[in-house]
Chain A
């Protein structure tokens, strides 16, 4: 992939009130690529899922750090990384199965399914006891005709 044309990173605490903050931050930075409302909604949804996973699963007993990084590339692609230093995921394939959750009936088990269907690429790396990194790619469609 080319070198990024712009990059932002932000670290915040795993408090549920920060879910909306993370979405707004990612969407605000992505707006430089002139996305459609639907593309912005897709990124907000995917970021919300990843950040919620950190809050609910990575740090179940307390507050930890979450890193959000967005890189913009010249081919109108964004790479969004959400990282935590929490408990990690013992079985990533299992965690990514639709409807699978360890979060009880408050969770739908659809987080990774939605991240995957709302972006153009999803990679998850995790080590138990060390944390989890989720990297998503989103291609923004070029606008051919000015409005």
Chain B
């Protein structure tokens, strides 16, 4: 699991790449947490366009990132979610907490 970070004007963009399963989630969470605590962003964007697979471990990563941003008084956005991770997000119902946009428009 790779995490790429870009920071500009209080906005932190984090691009996740690889499988966001229990094996990948641990590394991803360490990297995400360290960037947020280091940069103290107002907005955090998690870009999932290069996530090849996600299960409920990814849901835990999103919820933990949401909590971190909430504690800072910031906001979290999830964007470019491919079809398979989107189905997991829908099943977990976390779109009620976090703003999410998928890669493919819903019919």
A residues adjacent to B (C-beta < 8 A): 16-17, 19-20, 23, 37-38, 41-42, 44-45, 48-49, 52, 55-56, 105-111, 113-114, 117-118
Expressed in whole angstroms, the minimum distance between the Cβ of A143 and any Cβ of chain B is 19
Main secondary structure of the interface of B (DSSP, over half): helix
Total inter-chain residue pairs, C-beta < 8 Å:
74
Type the 1/0 row for B61-89, where 1 means its CB is closer than 8 Å to any CB of A.
00110000000000000000001100110
Expressed in whole angstroms, the minimum distance between the Cβ of B65 and any Cβ of chain A is 12
| Contact assessment for B92 and A19 in the assembled complex, using a CB-CB cutoff below 8 Å | no
| Contact assessment for B23 and A17 in the assembled complex, using a CB-CB cutoff below 8 Å | yes
Closest A residue to B92 using CB positions? A110
Closest B residue to A105 using CB positions? B64
Expressed in whole angstroms, the minimum distance between the Cβ of A108 and any Cβ of chain B is 4
Which B residues are in CB contact (< 8 Å) with A48? 21-22, 53, 55
| Contact assessment for B22 and A56 in the assembled complex, using a CB-CB cutoff below 8 Å | yes
B residues adjacent to A (C-beta < 8 A): 19, 21-23, 25-26, 29, 53, 55-57, 59-60, 63-64, 83-84, 87-88, 91-92
29 contacts between A and B (CB under 8 A): A16-B22, A20-B19, A20-B53, A37-B83, A38-B84, A41-B84, A41-B87, A42-B87, A44-B53, A45-B87, A48-B21, A52-B21, A52-B22, A52-B55, A52-B57, A105-B60, A105-B64, A106-B25, A106-B64, A107-B57, A108-B57, A108-B59, A108-B92, A109-B56, A110-B92, A113-B92, A114-B56, A117-B91, A118-B91
